[in-house]
Amino acid sequence: MRTRHTEKIISPPPVHFVGDGFRVHNFIPGVYPLTMARMDPFILLDYNSRHFFPPTNKPRGVGVHPHRGFETVSIAYRGRIAHHDSFGNSGVIGEGDVQWMTASSGLLHKEYHEKEFASTGGDFHMVQIWVNLPAKDKMSPPKYQPITNDQMGRYILPDDSGIIEVIAGSYNDVKGPASTFTPMAMMNARLKAGGKALFAFPQSYNTAALVIEGSIKINGTETAHTDQFVLFGNDGEQFTIEATENSIVLVLSGEPIREPVVAHGPFVMNTRTEIYQAFEDVENGRFGHLDD
């Protein structure tokens, strides 16, 4: 296999708030060259770097908003998120857990700091990724995949040097629990200082890594630090990540869908007409009802 080299190591862009509960760096599609087309099928990545929220009696978050045409994947590293939707689904995403929500044909959603976490305050550290859906699946029924940390696939690296937590896809035949519409891999590399992991994905897959904690050396040469985003080129298949201190690294790789993308706010479709239809469907109550 040929080595996949880094195309760019990107420091976090300035933060902005989504609602009043998510203090994020928007890597995708916020920083060149991280366009929706370049990172297809990953069309958005908001990174809430580690941040302390003081106690409050009114949980912070994002009020009722619609989604259609894609999936949201929320990964909790610190803190807890509660959520509700217009079909009666609700839950809490705890530390180490993942919520994989397929919005597809459309729903109303709200998410906010879990009540007990909000009342005590604490460090909040999250990633939310939007995964595009192929045109044929955009109007499929919404669904949820709540993935607790103990449900993830686990590959133990040699010499007790770390663990690969597999959310989607596989690592050395260890599979993740998430069901996906197109081929992709999503995993956390939890590496001890000196721990090293080899990753291999098809050359055509768009591939990246986000350093959640610590610092790493890529292919034995380039270094990336906490909160930096590593974009890999499509020039090979395999690369190595070695931790120079205890580290957590989110690794993403996916087969591009290569279809037209028309995005407007919370809707990601293939044509402008479909966007107009989404607005009309929300106005006419076809996404259901959800109280603030």
Per residue in 232-286, pLDDT (tens digit) is 999 999 999 999 999 999 999 999 999 999 999 999 999 999 999 999 999 999 9
- Whether the pLDDT of residue 292 is over 90: the answer is no
DSSP strand E in 54-180: where? Answer: 61-67, 70-78, 81-85, 90-93, 98-102, 107-113, 122-132, 143-147, 153-156, 162-168, 170-171, 174-175
Between the alpha carbon of residue 222 and those of residues 20, 62, 157, 230, the distances in Å are: 36, 37, 22, 10
DSSP 68: B
Q: Which residues contact 96 (CB under 8 A, 6 or more apart)?
A: 76, 77, 148, 149
- Whether the pLDDT of residue 222 is over 90: the answer is yes
Cα 221 from Cα 39, distance rounded (Å): 24
- pLDDT per residue as tens digits for the range 99-152: 999 999 999 999 999 999 999 999 999 999 999 999 999 999 999 999 999 999
pLDDT at 32: 94
Ordered by where they begin, the domains of the chain are 6-254 (2.60.120.10)
Q: Which residues contact 152 (CB under 8 A, 6 or more apart)?
A: 98, 165, 166, 167, 176, 177
Mean per-residue pLDDT, 205-213: 98
- Whether the pLDDT of residue 185 is over 90: the answer is yes
pLDDT at 283: 96
- pLDDT per residue as tens digits for the range 35-72: 999 999 999 999 999 999 999 999 999 999 999 999 99
pLDDT at 168: 98
Q: What amino acid occupies position 137?
A: D
Prediction pTM value? 0.97
- Cβ neighbour number for residue 1 with a 10 Å cutoff: 10
Per the structure block, which two tokens stand in for 262?
């028309």
- Whether the pLDDT of residue 179 is over 90: the answer is yes
Look-up of token digits 């700091």: 113
Between the alpha carbon of residue 249 and those of residues 33, 132, 287, the distances in Å are: 21, 22, 36
Mean per-residue pLDDT, 62-86: 97
